[in-house]
Structure 1
Amino acid sequence: MTNLTRLVSTDELESVFQRELATDRWAATETAYALAARHRDLGNWPASREWAQQCLRLLEGFPSETEEQVATGRTSVGGVQLPTFLHSGVVEERFGTLS
């Protein structure tokens, strides 16, 4: 994806997610967050919940003791603003308790 500020479709984001999952799990985690936000904004609550849960599952594989460990590498993905720090507390705050 060359232009990360353009609002892309969820299909495009899902394609990006699949590529990133194989090559860069942190980028895939950020993209899962973006997919959750994008589906929420579109009113697709089941898909939003599914992607938020995917984001949380991926986050379990990363350390989260310091700000550096949870800092996002990008400011936005597919036109969706990312939080400065990405950890389970942020996901639950933005999407509610998912368990």
Structure 2
Amino acid sequence: MTNQTRLASTDELESIFQRELLSNRWAATETSFALAVRHRDLGDWPASREWVQQCLLLLEGFPSDSEEQVATARTSVGGVQLPTYLHSGVVEERFGALG
């Protein structure tokens, strides 16, 4: 686990994502959002867009009919703050539409 007082590197976050993808797809979805934020903040727009797409793809597998279903389980991942609720509308609001 990364130290929450510093930002995790994108490599660290990608390693976390790979582990979570096998064991906890919601956690992996949160981590993909964090990766999109980190890459955007680093100015790597192509990588950020790839992680936005990954996040949206994972979100398709979850119901989003109520706040409880879209509430994030963590407040941050690798030092990146997560939104309170995570669904496609939030992702598009933060990153813009990909289409």
How many residues are paired up? 99
Question: 1:82 aligned to 2:79?
Answer: no
Given that 1:5 and 1:77 are in contact with CA atoms closer than 8 Å, whether structure 2 keeps it comes out as no
Structure 1 residues 10 and 77: CA distance shift in structure 2, 3 A: same
Where do 5+ consecutive residues of structure 1 fail to align? none
- In structure 2, the partner of 1:49 is 49
With normalisation by structure 2, the TM-score equals: 0.97
Question: 1:96 aligned to 2:96?
Answer: yes
Quote how far apart the aligned CAs of 1:3 are.
2.8
Deviations 1:44-77 (A, max 9, x none): 0000000000000000000000000000000000
Q: Distance in 1 between matches of 2:27 and 2:5?
A: 15
With normalisation by structure 1, the TM-score equals: 0.97
Where do 5+ consecutive residues of structure 2 fail to align? none
Given that 2:30 and 2:82 are in contact with CA atoms closer than 8 Å, whether structure 1 keeps it comes out as yes
Deviations 1:26-55 (A, max 9, x none): 000000000000000000000000000000
Given that 1:72 and 1:83 are in contact with CA atoms closer than 8 Å, whether structure 2 keeps it comes out as yes
Q: Distance in 2 between matches of 1:29 and 1:5?
A: 22
